[in-house]
């Protein structure tokens, strides 16, 4: 069975080394709401809750929702300027 949103939140929280109470406090949601999320009992948690949790845990919303991390774009290289011959 694939991981669900709650499983990914719990995994990210544990990797961060944070308790349920601390995550709930920092994300400004109740401990009961977080418990319901982590146990996959909330069918539609709302984007603002997921966004707040992602910010606190330092992960992307994509990671929590889909289980995939979108790689950052490659750094832009400065364009080389053609020089005019000195003459």
Per-residue confidence at 1, pLDDT binned at 50, 70, 90? Answer: very low
Query: Any idea where the domains of the chain sit in the sequence?
Result: 5-66
Angle at 20 between CA 58 and CA 46, to 5 degrees: 65
Give me the count of residues in the chain: 87
pLDDT tens string 34-87:
999 999 998 888 999 999 999 999 999 988 988 776 455 556 666 566 666 665
Per-residue confidence at 8, pLDDT binned at 50, 70, 90? Answer: very high
Q: What is the pLDDT of residue 27?
A: 96
Q: What CATH number matches the domain at 5-66, 3.40.1280.10, 1.10.260.40, 3.40.50.12780, 3.40.50.1100?
A: 1.10.260.40
User: What's the pTM value of the predicted model, to 2 decimals?
Assistant: 0.73
DSSP codes, 34-64: HHHHHTT--S---HHHHHHHHHHHT--HHHH
- The span from the CA of 57 to the CA of 11, in Å, is 10
């Amino acid at each position: 069975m694939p991981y669900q949103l709650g499983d990914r939140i719990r995994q990210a929280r544990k990797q961060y080394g944070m308790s349920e109470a601390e995550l709930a406090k920092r994300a400004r949601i109740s401990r009961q709401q977080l418990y319901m999320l982590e146990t996959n009992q909330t069918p539609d948690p709302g984007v603002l809750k997921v966004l707040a949790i992602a910010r606190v845990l330092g992960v992307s919303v994509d990671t929590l929702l889909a289980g995939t991390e979108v790689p950052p774009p490659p750094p832009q290289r400065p364009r080389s300027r053609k020089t005019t011959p000195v003459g």
